[in-house]
Structure 1
Amino acid sequence: MKHNLKYFLFAIFLITALVYQGCEKATPDNWKWETITTNGEPTARHEAGFVAYKSKLYLMGGRRINPTSEFDPSTNTWTEKSPSPIELHHFQPVVYGDAIYIIGAMTGQWPNEKPVDQIIIYYPERDEYVYGDSIPKHRKRGGAGAVVYKDKIYLVGGIINGHMNGFKPWFDEYNPKTKEWKTLTDAPNARDHYQTMVINDKLYAFAGRTTSRITKEDFSLTVNHGNTYNFLTQKWEPVTNDTAIPTMRAGNSALAWNGSIVIAGGESMVQEAAHNQVEAYNTKTKLWSKWPSLNQGRHGSGLAVIGDYVYTASGCGKRGGEPELTTIERLQLPKGNATPLTEIADTTPVYQQYNTLTIPFEGPETSETDAINPFLNYRLSVEFQHEDSKQTIRGFYAADGDAAETSAKTGKIWNVRFTPNKIGKWTYTAKLHKGDSIALTDDLTIGDLIPMTNAKGNFIIVNSDKEGDDFRGKGRLEAHKGYFKFRNTNDYWLKVGTNSPENLLGYVDFDDTYRMKSEAREGEAAATENIHTYAPHLKDWKTGDPSWKKGKGKSLVGAINYLSSKGMNSAYFLTLNILGDGKDVWPYVTPDNFTRFDVSKLEQWEIVFQHMQSKGIVLHMVLQETENETMLDHGNTGPLRQLYFRELIARFGHHLALVWNLGEENGPASWSPIGQNDKQRKAMATFLKETDPYQHPVLLHTHSEDPLREDILNDILGFKDLDGLSLQQAKREEASTVVETWRKKSKAAGQDWLITMDEIGMWHTGALTDTQDANHFSLRHYALWGTLMSGAAGVEWYFGAKQPHNDLTSEDWRQRDHLWEITNHAKVFFNTYLPYWEMQPKHSLINSKEAYCIRKVNEIYAVYLPKLGRYTIDLREASGDFQIQWYNPLTGGPLQTASVKSISGGGIRSLAIPKELSATKKNTDWVILLRKNVEKQL
C-alpha cells in the first residue's frame, strides 16, 4: 500500500510538471508589479469599487461622497467625474450592458452603516448616476460579492448591520431585464468584505470574514475555506480542504484569469499593515500558487484588467481606515500558471462545528410498508471517530432522500444526522444490518451485514460562522445545577416561550396530517374539525426562509419568525396525541400501526425544527399525553415505545437545543385513571438517557395540584435520569412557593432539578389574550417574576382551555403580543444584569409576602415589588454601599435612577418606590437592582 501511494504521488508530480512544461512560458521575465507615474491623482478612498469598462478604469464610491475617478491607461491620466448620489462603500461593482451596477452597498458611518435599499447604476459614457430597482426588504446587505453570469447579476454573502453583526450566507439572483429577484440556496459559509468571481459556469467565493464588532471581533473572524456554486447543477459544491486560502484576509480584491481565481491584498489581525500577498487558486488542478506581491499592501479596492495588464488602485495601506492611498499599480498577466504552492489538492470535505451533517447511504430498495419493515428489521449505525473521542449514531430510513419535497414512500436511501462538537478531523464507518426486530437491540454485532455505498469517509470540522440566537453558533444545551447551560462553556440560558398550541404539529401543510374524531374531556379545550393553518402568520414568512413542495409550510415558518422576533426562545409541542385532546399529531403512516413511520411527514417536521434552531427556539418535545401514556406497551418501555423513541432520537436528536418531556400530566388522575406508574416513568427516562447519544435534558410534566402531584414526584426525587420538572400549577399565586419547594427537595435528595414554569392555571383561563388582559399583571407578578426569582429556569405560557385562541385552536400568537414583550423584558433583565445561576431566592428579606428577592450574598440583590407601598430589605448579612437602580417590568428599557442612588448594608433599609418613578407610569410594580462595586462589574 505504501509503495502504491509513493508511485501515485510521483505520477501526480510528473503529470503536473508536464502540464506546466506544455504551457506557454508561465510568467514574464522579472515578473512583478509596477507602480505607475500618472498625470493627476484619483481622490483617495477605501472600501471603494474599482472596475474596468471598455478601455478605461473607474474608481467609485468609498467612505464619504467622492467623485468618480476615471483612469485612461493609454495616457496614464486620471480624470475626475461625477460624484455618487449618496455615500456608497463596501460593494463590488459589475459591468452590465453599457453601465456599471452597484448592488449591495453600505452607506453611513462606522460601525453602524446601513445597507443601501436600491441599485445604483452609473453610465460612464454619460457620466451619470441613476437609481435602479429596489432591493427586497429582507435581503438588503452590504459587503457582499457581486458578479454577472449570463445576463443576470448574482449577490453572495454580505452583512446587514454594518460592522456590528449580521453576516449572511445569502445568495440572490437579479435579472436586469425583467427586474425580478430570486432567492437561491444559501452558501455553505457566511462571509462579508470580499469579492466573488465566475469561471466556466461556476461561481467562486474566497476570503472575507464574518465581521462582529458587537463581540469586538472586527477583523479576526476571517473565513478559511472558499465556496463554489455550479450554475449548471444549481447547487453549491461540498466545501473541501483544497479551498483553504493560504493567507486568510478580508477586504481583498479578486480576479478571474485563465482558469484561476486571484486574491490580492486585504486586511486581518495578523498584521497592522494591509496585506500585499497575491495568491491564485487553479480551478482545474485545485492547487494554490503564489503571484508577485503588491508593491503597496492595500485593502478596500479592486482588480481590473485592460489589455495584458491587471490594475489596482487606491484603497487603504493599513488595517482599518488610514492611510488612504492614491497610487495605482499594474502587473503583466501571465499566459500560463504560476508554480503551485502544494503538489496535491486536499479534497477532504469541510463542515462547521455544531452544524448538522446529513450523510446519505444507498442501501436496499424498500418502502414504508414493505413486508420486511425498514424501521424495525434494519439498523443503520455509524461510528464517528475524532482524535480524542468517538460516538455511535443511529441512522434512519429516508425513502428517496428527498421525501419532504416528493412525499416518497419508497426508495433506497438511508441517512444519518450528526452534529459534531469538536474541531479537527473526523472519520466515520457505517454499517447496515438486517434481522428480525434488529432496530431494538444495541448489540451492533447482531444481524446480516447489508452492502451500501459511502460506508466510510472522513471530514474536517472548523469553527461555526453562525451568530446571534442561532444555536449553531453556541453549542448544545444541557441541564446544569438547576439551569440550562451551553455544554463546555460558562454561558447560561433562560427559557421563555409558548406552551400553546400543544398540537403545534397538527398542521395542514404536513403530509398525511388530519384530525380524528375528537371528544373533549372536562378540563380541556375542545378541538375544532379543522387542523392548524396559521394563516395570520403567512405575512411573517420572509424571503429566503424555508418551505417545501412549492411553497408549503410558509405560515408555520412565519409563526416561528414572529415568536423569535418577540424574544421568545421555546415552543412546547406534542409528537403523539392519539387518544389525547387534539388527535391530530403522530409520526406514523397511520394512527393504528405503531411500527411504520411517515418519512415525508417527519422530514417536513425536520425543516421546521431546523428553522426553530436557527431562530434560537428550543424544541420542547412532549412525547405523550396523559390519555395515551399506556397506549404503547401498556405503559412499559417495551418494543413499541423503544421503536418510537429510537426514531425520534435518530431523526431529531442531533438538534442542539432539545428537551425530552416524558409526557403531559404524567401519571394517573381522576379524568384519566389508567396511567403510568413510578417504575414505568423511570424506565422511560433511563431509556432516553442510555439511548440518546447527545444526552438532552429529560423533564417530567406534572399535574397541577397536590397531593396528586406530590405523590408522584416524591417517588422520583433523586432519580439520576430525570433532570427536572416541566411544572404545571393551578393557582398562580402559589407558583413561586411551589418552584422553591421542589428546588429545595431535589437539592436535599442530591440532585438540583431544573424546574420550568410551563403551564400556569387555572386550566380554563391560563394566559389570556391582550384584548382580555392588556398588561397581564397577575401573570407577570406571580408566574413570571415570582417563579424566575424563586429559581425557575424558564417560563412558558399556556392558553386557557375555555378562552378564544386556546391551547388547541390558537392560530395567531400575535393575539398575545404584549405578553411576549412583557416576558422578554424579564428575560433581558436576568440575562443582562444577574448571574442568576449563582443566586438564591430569599423572599423573607423583604417585608411583604407579595414581593420577591433573589440574591448573591453581599454582592447583588434583585427585588420585585408588586405595588406602591413602604418596603424594607434586610441587609444585615451585607456590608458596604450598594448602588440602587430601577427596572420597569411592564415597559422594559434601561435601568433608571432616582433621588436615592445608594443604600448601605448592615441593617434594615427602606425600599420605597420613589415618587418620580411611580407618578408617571401606568404600572405599579417595579424591580430594584442593588449592586456592589457596579463600576467594576460593568
Structure 2
Amino acid sequence: MTTSANVRTAILILCAALLSNCVSVEDGIDTKGWQTVLARGTPTARHEAALIAYKNKLYLIGGRRINPVDVYDPVTNRWTAKSVPPLEIHHFQAVVYDDAIYIMGAMTGGWPNETPLDRVMLYYPEQDRFEYGPTIPPARRRGGAGVAVHDNKFYMIGGITNGHMDGYVPWLDEFDPATGQWRVLPDAPQARDHFQAVVSDGKLYAFAGRRTEHAKKLGFEQTISIGDVYDFAAGTWAPMHTRRAIPTERAGNMALSWNGQIIIGGGESGSQEEAHDEVQAFDPVTGQWRAWPSLNRGRHGSGFAAIGDHIYTASGSGNRGGEPELTSLERLRLSPTLNQSPRIAVTKQAQPAVMQWHKFQLSFAGPETSETSADNPFTDYRLTVTFTHGGKSRVVRGFYAADGNAAETGAESGNIWKVRFSPDELGEWQWQARLAKGKNLAINRDPSAGETIALTNSSGSFMVTPSDKAAPDFRNADRGLLVADTGYFRFAQSGEYWIKGGTNSPENLLGYTDFDDTYRMADNARDGESDAGGGIHTFAPHRKDWQPGDPSWRGGKGKALIGAINYLADQRMNAAYFLTLNILGDGKDVWPYRDPNDFTRFDASKFDQWEIVFDHMQAKGILLHLVTQETENELMLDGGDTGVERKLYLAELIARFGHHNALVWNLGEENGPVHWRPEGQNDDQRRQMIRYLKSADPYQHPVLLHTHSEAADKDAIAGPLLGEPGLDGLSFQVSERTMVNAEMQKWRSLAAAEGREWLITMDEIGKWDTGALPDSLDPTNHQSLRRHALWGHLLGGGAGVEWYFGAKYPANDLSSEDWRLRESLWKQTAVALDFFRDHLPYWDMQPCNGMVDRKDVYCLGKANQIYALYLPDGGTAIVDTGEEAASYAVSYHDPVSGNVFQGKSKTMIAGGELKLTAPTQLRGKDWVALVQF
C-alpha cells in the first residue's frame, strides 16, 4: 500500500469515528445516509453562498467577502478554483438558464447594513466569466429572497430590503431573461427572508425563512412556520393552512424539489446554537412530512444541488451566525425508498386558525358566579391574556360572559370568561392567560395582583391566515386597523387614507326594542332637546332590508336593525354615531348595566347582542363611532373623575368591543360646561379620561372630543387640550353652517402650532332644531348642508361627516326610524367621498381659499400639482396660483349627481392665474372644479 493510500485509509477511519460516514467518490461506498466526501482539493470556506449544479458539476458561488468560484467535478472528485466576481455577493439563490448561472435577489456589503444588488448578475461557467445583466427596478430590490425558474421565466419571492435591519417583504416578481422585463405579481400571504424557493408540478413553494429585524434585536427569532404556495396557472396564492406547517422552523436553509417532494434541509434559528442538521420532505399531495437522514454536519447559508442520483451540499456555517465556515462536502443517494422515511407529526396541524383582522375569541371556564353574586364578577375578577407573535406582544383584558352564549339564552349566571382579539400579523401566535380574584381587581393595572385561579387552557397557540374578505369589510386584508394619522384616518395595514361619511342620528341607536332589558326610563322633551316620541326604536321600515344569512338573535330578533345597517351600507355610507350611555340624558334608553342605578354590574346578554350588531357593521364597512356619555351625565360616574366607576365602564367597553378594527372612542357628546348647563367635566377630568383610554386600549383607537356648537365654547373647552398627546382630534358641532370651513382651518392651525395634526370630523351640524331634514322637508335638496357642512368641511382639511337629524322635526335625532327619508343626502355624500378617494391626495393638500377671487369658493390644493374648488351657483372664478405659465387640465363635477364634464387642456394666463368657467350643463348650479397640472 502506498503512503498516500495509507493516509487516505487513516482519514477514512477518523472520519468514520467522528462523522459516522465518510467516503471518497472513487471508493464507491454508498450507505443510506449522508456521506462526507473526501475530495481532492478544498473549496474556499464561506457561508451565505449559492451551490448549484450545471452540466453535472457543482458551482459554489459568492458568500461573505469576495471569493473565487469553486467547481466540483464528481467524475474526478476534485475541487477547482475559478475566477472571482466583480464585487461581494451573498444571500442569494442561484438559478441556471441556458448557458449561464443567474444571480438575483442578492446583497453586497457587511452585516447588518447590507445593500441589495441593483441588477441581475450572470456567470458563464464554460467561459469562467461574470457579466452584469438587466437592472432590477429600484422599488423591488431586496436580498435574501427565494428564486426559481418556471417556463423560461424567473420568479423572485420575499426577501429583505434593508440588510439585516428590517424591511422583510411578501413580494413576488416575474423576470423574463429573454426580454429583461420585470412584472409585479400578487404578494405572498406572508413576508419572509433567508430562505430558498422551489418549483414543483406547476407551483412555486416557499418554506422556512424568517422575518429579520436586527433593529429590534430580532435576528434569528421570527422564523416562519407555514409554507406558501403559488399556482402559476391560476395566478393566485393558496390560502394559508396549517397542513403546510414545517416540522422544524429555521431560516438560511437549503431547498430542492425531487420526485414530487419539497426537500428542506439545514438552517439556523433562535432555538439552538448549532446549525440545523434536519432534512425533511413535504408531499404536496398528502400534506405529510417525512424525516430524511440528517446531515453529518449541520449548516446554513448554502444550497442543495442534484447530480445524477445524488443530492449534494457544501460549505455554509456550522453554527447560528457566521462561524465556523465550513469546507466539507456531503452527498445523499436519491432513492425511492426515501419516500418511505418515517412520517413527522406536526403538532401545529391541531392549532385553531383565524384570519388576519378577524375576531379571535377564547373562552375560559372559571368559578361559577352571576351578575348578582356577592363576589362581583365585574369588579373582583380580572382575566388578562397576553398574545405574542415574534417579538410583539399585546395584553388584552377579558370579560365575564355568563354561560358563554348569553345573546341567545339571556343568561345572568355561568362560569365562562372570554377574551376577543384582532390579530394584525400572519403566522403563528401564542397566548398566555391569567384569571385572578381580588377586591376591585378589574381596574388594577398591576399584572401580578390578585389570587390566581387555575385555568385548564391557560396557554396555547393559533395560526393566523390571510383574510378572505373584500372591501368595504374592515377585515379585508388591505384594511384592518383604522388609525389617526396626519389629520386623517388611515389603514395601518396598507397605509391607505380614508374619509368617513355617515349618520349621526339617531344617537340612541342602541335604544332598540330587541336588545334585552332595554326601555325608556322616562319620556321627556325639554327645550333644546329632541322629542324621543312614545316608545323605543323598532326600525320597522328596515325589516325588509334584512337578508337571509344575516345575523339575528333569540329566534329572529334584531332583523330590523340589521336591515337598517344593510340599507346604510347600500347607500355607501361608512360611519355611524351612537351613545352607549344616556342615563340622565336625552333618550334615557341606552345603558350597559344590569340595573341603571348600579354602575358596577353589567348586562352580559345585552352586551353580546350589541356585539352581534357591531360585528355586522364592521363587515359592512361601517365605522363604530362610540360615544361614551353625553353632557347631561358626564358627572354621573365618579363625579366626572376617572375613578372606579368610570374605569370599570371604559374597561368593559374596551374588553368587549376594542377588537373591532374601525372604532372611535368619543369622550362624550357636547362635553364640558356651558352657559345653559354650567355643570360638566373640567380640563383635568377630561385629561384623566383620555389618558385612561389610551393606556387601557391595546389597539390605540382614535380618541376624539365632541365639542359644543359655539366658537367661544370650543376655545374654552378644547383649547386647553391642544397639547394633550392622547387626544387625536375633535368631533365638531357647529351652529352656523357657513362657519364650518373657517372653524376647520382655525383648529387645524391651532393644533399644528402645538406640533399635532388633529383629525377633525364634522358630526353635528346646526341649527340644533333642524339639522339635516328629511328630503321631503328640504326644498333646496340640502343645498346649504352640501355646500358648507360637506364640501366646506372636506375642502377645509376635514376627515369626514356624519349627519345630525335635528331636534324639532319628524324623524329627528331621537325618534328617527327610517334612514330612507334622507336618501338624497346619502347619495350626495357618496359623491363627495368618491371624488376625494378617486382624485385627490387630500392628506397632502392644504386649504387655499385665499388664492381665489371669490369669497364664497372653497379651495384645497397642492402647489404645482392639483387643486379642487367648490363654486356655488356656477359662474366664473380666477385662481392665482403664483406659478409660471403652464398647461393644466380641468374637469367639472356635479356634486349632486356625480356627473363629470371634461374640460380641455389650457395654459395659465399671465401672472400665474387660471380662469375657471362652468360648462353649459352646470351654469347656475353648484359645481366642483378639479385642476391638474
Q: Matches of 2:523 and 2:691 in 1, distance apart? A: 33
Local SS of the residue matching 2:351: coil
The letter for the 1-side match of 2:814 is: L
- Per-residue displacement from partner, 1:782-801 (whole Å, max 9, x unpaired)? 11001100001111100010
Where 2:602 maps in the other structure, the secondary structure is: coil
Q: Which residue of 2 aligns with 1:617?
A: 622
Q: CA deviation at 1:647?
A: 0.4
1 CA distance for matches of 2:383 and 2:884?
A: 60
Aligned residue number for residue 785 of structure 1 = 791
Counterpart of 2:498 in structure 1 is 493
Q: Which amino acid aligns with 1:682?
A: R
In 2, are the aligned partners of 1:515 and 1:529 still within 8 Å (CA)?
A: no
Alignment of structure 1 residues 360-379 onto 2, 5 Å:
360-379=363-382
Label 1:218 to 1:828 Cα distance change in 2 as closer, same or farther (>3 A). Answer: farther
Q: Secondary structure at the match of 1:736?
A: helix
- Structure 2 segments unaligned to the other structure (5+ residues): 1-185, 187-226, 248-259, 261-281, 292-338
Matches within 5 A, 1:130-529: 219-225=235-241, 241-242=242-243, 280-281=285-286, 287=288, 342-345=343-346, 346-473=349-476, 474-529=479-534
Query: Following the alignment from structure 2 to structure 1, what is the Cα–Cα distance between the partners of residues 588 and 386?
Result: 38
Q: 2:926 maps to which residue?
A: 925
Q: Which amino acid aligns with 1:865?
A: L
The secondary structure found in structure 1 opposite 2:930 is strand
Give CA-to-partner distance per residue, 1:479-513, whole Å, 9 cap, x none: 11111111253210101110000000000110110
CA contact (8 A) 1:863 1:929 kept: yes
> Offset of 1:672 from its aligned partner?
2.2
Alignment of 1:498-647 (within 5 A): 498-647=503-652
Superposed displacement of residue 385, structure 1:
1.3
Q: Determine if the alignment matches structure 1 residue 831 to structure 2 residue 834.
A: no
Question: Does 2:912 correspond to 1:896?
Answer: no
Equivalent AA in structure 1 for residue 533 of structure 2: T
Give secondary structure in 1 for the equivalent of 2:594: coil
Q: Please point out which of 865, 877, 883 is paired with 2:883.
A: 877
Q: How does 1:639-788 map to 2 (within 5 A)?
A: 639-773=644-778, 775-788=781-794
Normalised by the size of structure 2, how large is the TM-score? Answer: 0.65
The SS at the match of 2:869 is strand
Aligned with residue 801 of structure 2, among 783, 792, 795 = 795
Between stretches 751-760 and 349-358, larger displacement belongs to 349-358
Q: Deviation of residue 405 (structure 1)? A: 0.7
For 2:918 and 2:577, how far apart are their aligned partners in 1? Answer: 37
1:840 pairs with 833, 846, 851, which one? 846
Q: Deviations over 1:806-834 (max 9, x none)?
A: 00000000100010000000000000000
Give the CA deviation at 1:870: 2.7
Bigger mean CA deviation after superposition, 417-426 or 724-733: 417-426
Structure 1 residue matching 2:344: 3-state secondary structure: coil
Shift of 1:372: 0.3
Which one has the largest radius of gyration?
2
Counterpart-to-counterpart distance in 2, 1:879 and 1:347: 68
Per-residue CA distance 1:436-489 (angstroms, 9 max, x = gap): 111111101111111122111011222222211111111111111111111253
Superposition deviation, residue 914 in structure 1: 2.4
> Measured at CA, do residues 209 and 781 of structure 1 come closer, stay the same or move farther in structure 2, by a change above 3 Å?
farther
Whole-Å Cα distance in 1 between the matches of residues 860 and 233 of structure 2? Answer: 34
Deviation at 1:210, TM superposition (A): 13
Name the amino acid aligned to 1:222.
Answer: A
1:755 aligned partner, one-letter code: I
User: Helix, strand or coil for the counterpart of 2:763?
Assistant: strand
Alignment of 1:81-92 (within 5 A): none
Question: Cα distance 1:287–1:805, how it changes in 2: closer, same or farther (>3 A)?
Answer: same
Alignment partners' CA distance in 1, 2:421 and 2:811:
38
Percent identical across equivalent pairs? 52
Whether the 8 Å contact between 2:888 and 2:905 is mirrored in structure 1 is: no
SS of equivalent residue, structure 1 residue 651? helix
2:791 partner amino acid: W
Shift of residue 344 of structure 1?
1.0
**Structure 1 residue 529, shift from structure 2 partner:** 2.8
In 1, Cα distance between equivalents of 2:341 and 2:614: 44
Q: Is the 8 A contact 2:885 2:907 kept in 1?
A: no
- Are the aligned partners of 1:482 and 1:754 in contact in 2 as well (CA < 8 Å)? yes
8 Å contact kept, 2:585–2:630:
yes
Cross-structure match for 1:10: none
Cα deviation, 1:395-446, whole Å, max 9, x if unaligned, reads 0000111111111111111000111111222111101110111111110111
> How far is the alpha carbon of 1:902 from its aligned partner?
5.9
Q: Distance in 1 between matches of 2:630 and 2:367?
A: 36
Cα distance in 2, alignment partners of residues 587 and 366 from structure 1: 19
RMSD: 2.8
Cα deviation code 1:278-312 (max 9, x no counterpart) = 9555xxxx84899xxxxxxxxxxxxxxxxxxxxxx
Q: d(CA) in 2 for partners of 1:342 and 1:468?
A: 42
Q: Secondary structure at the match of 1:595?
A: strand
Match of 2:732, SS state, is strand
**Distance in 2 between the 1:343 and 1:428 partners?**
25
Task: Classify 1:340/1:515 alpha carbon distance in 2 versus 1 (closer, same or farther; 3 Å).
Answer: farther
Write the mapping of 1:70-109 to structure 2, written as runs, cut at 5 A: none
* 8 A contact 1:379–1:439 mirrored in 2: yes
Counterpart residue identity of residue 852, structure 1: Y
Q: Give me the whole-angstrom Cα distance separating, in 2, the residues matched to 1:509 and 1:904.
A: 64
In the alignment, the residues of structure 1 paired with residue 490 and residue 789 of structure 2 have an alpha-carbon distance, to the nearest angstrom, of: 22
Q: In 2, are the aligned partners of 1:884 and 1:902 still within 8 Å (CA)?
A: no
Aligned-partner Cα distance in 1 for 2:884–2:534:
61
Structure 2 letter corresponding to 1:224: M
C-alpha distance 658-606 of structure 1, shift in aligned 2 (>3 A): same
Q: TM-score, normalised by structure 1?
A: 0.64
Report what 2:916 is aligned to: 911
Shift of the 342–355 alpha-carbon distance from structure 1 to 2, 3 Å rule, reads farther
Aligned equivalents of 1:279 and 1:485: distance in 2?
39
8 A contact 2:504–2:578 mirrored in 1: yes
CA distance in 2, matches of 1:654, 1:792: 26
CA distance in 2, matches of 1:504, 1:828: 27
Q: 1:849 to 1:397 in 2, by over 3 A?
A: same
CA distance in 2 between counterparts of 1:905 and 1:574 reads 55
Distance, in Å, in 1 between the alignment partners of 2:820 and 2:439 is 50
Distance in 2 between residues matched to 1:342 and 1:741, nearest whole Å: 69
Counterpart of 2:857 (choices 837, 851, 858) is 851
Alpha carbons 1:653, 1:694 under 8 Å: kept = yes
Change in 2 beyond 3 A, CA 1:287/1:217: closer
CA drift at 1:519: 2.0
Cα 1:898–1:217 change in 2 (3 A) is farther
Q: CA deviation at 1:341?
A: 9.2
Shift of 1:353: 1.1
Aligned counterpart, 2:112 = none
Find the residue that maps to 1:757 and give its secondary structure: strand
**Letter in structure 2 aligned against 1:890:** V
Aligned length: 627
- Matched to 1:719, the amino acid is E
| 1:581 positional shift | 0.4
